[in-house]
A and B are shown apart, each in its own frame.
Chain A
Amino acid sequence: MPIAQLLSGAAELTANELLQFDSDYQTYLAPLAEKSLAITLLPVDLTVVLFFTAERIDISVPVNAPDTKTTTYKNDTSDANADDIACDCHLTLQISALSELRDTNQLTKLIKQDKLDIVGDLRVAQHLSALINGINLDLTEILTVKLGDVPAHTIMGVTHQIQSYLRYVHEHAQITLGEALIEEKKWVASPLAIANYCDEVTDTRYWCDRIAARIQRLERQQAQATHDDVGSEK
């Protein structure tokens, strides 16, 4: 089973379904119509090509011919023939920089860092970025259309409950953990103990300073006494 085609098929279906949920999607697609954009991800060297029409996006993962020097059975379906990828715009991108691509302000920075290379019409990439950022997806609406009113609101209600419960658990867990470390495990000192400790340190330093001053005075007195003794003997 060609996995790449299975995944690109699923991605294409999802992307086009999602587009329909924003009534403005055609406004975003219009400047992309009849354009194509290839994205090659490094270091995996996987190329995905997007073909745009005014209505939808088609996703293709170009397949290389098996080694044509031999005619034996081949199962290698990776890598595309370079000349098979003739697009209006071709982005070659480090996979680690994929998330930064949404922000068009980052493009120059990524290019300088050698994480991104753009060949062809940059406007295609900019229009795609505008589409991704501009499309407005309302999850409740999507679920309502897909599942119906009642299940959608039930799911959203339950999701909100789970979210607030998780938030409560998260905050509570932090407090409980803090208390456990201080009171039970005694791995972390309580604020009072720390204050006491600081006071004790200050006291100790005070007494140390006083003792040091006394020692100095005694040393000076002894030096003076020695000096006087030597003078009277003369």
Chain B
Amino acid sequence: MATAHIDNTSDASAADTVDQAKLSTDNAEQAEQTHFGFKQVDTDKKESLVAEVFHSVAAKYDVMNDVMSLGVHRIWKRFTIDSSGARKGHHVLDLAGGTGDLTAKFSRIVGKEGSVTLSDINPSMLEVGKDKLRDMGLVENIKYVEANAEDLPFPDNSFDIVTMAFGLRNVTHKENALASIYRVLKPGGRLLVLEFSKPTSTALEKIYDAYSFYLLPKMGKLVADDEESYRYLAESIRMHPDQDTLEAMMQTAGFEGTSYTNLTGGIVALHRGYKY
């Protein structure tokens, strides 16, 4: 495996490292490489590397989410659901849905006449999600589908709403995922992408860098005994396209009426787009 590893253990500024990584991403693309956090890996290896990360964090994923975000991820997810316009009878796809936080709420909103499909590429995450949702008594209207967002196994025009929370940045070819989502959305349907993004103020960005590159892996080690996975999470956040770039990508995939809302100073952004 030809990897152009970038040393990120030094105290060099995270922003510099991101720039270097982006540069080498550009160069590497010709050699069919892509980024995995700040590292360069063969494009066809990224999927299994991401799978390893989520397999390893699955059991402690919910606890870590609360610890890392101090519970704020719940508010971001509520905001996503409140922006979805979901109602009784809707068919919702919670893509890269992991342990099913969004699925749980959608399931109660859409009721028996509707359905929620919890889909993820990773069977370990899906299994944790399935157990959790069953413990919550949510069984009737939820389907579980192991699938790659880049190639969704659903018929065209199947869903009223597709959500992808903190999933898109892990996908190797984001443009493929967006096109695939566009295909499975019904005309009039909407896509909501909740994802880490670029803080709107430099001061916040500095604090956030310090937090995610220093504190986050340490917390990962302490709580989940898994420093590497949480280092990947921090790095993958920096490598993810910023607000405007992602919006442009959505437009390229065919989405209309696109917009985004920055949450918590742009640490996270919710992007929306419609298929008309």
Contact = CB atoms under 8 A, between A and B. Distances in A.
A binds B: yes
Interface of A: 1-2, 4-6, 8-9, 34, 36, 51, 53, 55-56, 58, 60-63, 65-68, 71, 73-75, 77, 81, 83-84, 86-88
Given A2-B75, A71-B244, 15 more contacts: A1-B75, A2-B76, A2-B79, A5-B75, A5-B79, A8-B82, A34-B88, A36-B87, A63-B79, A63-B82, A63-B261, A65-B272, A71-B260, A73-B243, A73-B260
A14 B264 CA distance: 24
14 contacts: A1-B263, A8-B78, A8-B82, A9-B78, A36-B109, A58-B105, A58-B108, A62-B82, A62-B83, A63-B83, A65-B272, A66-B260, A71-B244, A86-B87
Nearest to A62: B82
Contacts of A66: 259-261
Q: On chain B, which size bracket covers the interface?
A: 20 to 34
B257 A68 contact: yes
A187 B47 CA distance: 87
A6 B82 CA distance: 12
B262 interface: yes
Given A34-B88, A36-B87, A55-B137, A1 B264 contact: yes
A110 B243 CA distance: 47
Interface in B212-267: 243-244, 247, 257-264
B257 A56 contact: no
A75 B261 contact: yes
B74 interface: yes
A77 B261 contact: yes
B65 interface: no
B123 interface: no
B108 A65 contact: no
Contacts of A71: 244, 247, 258-260
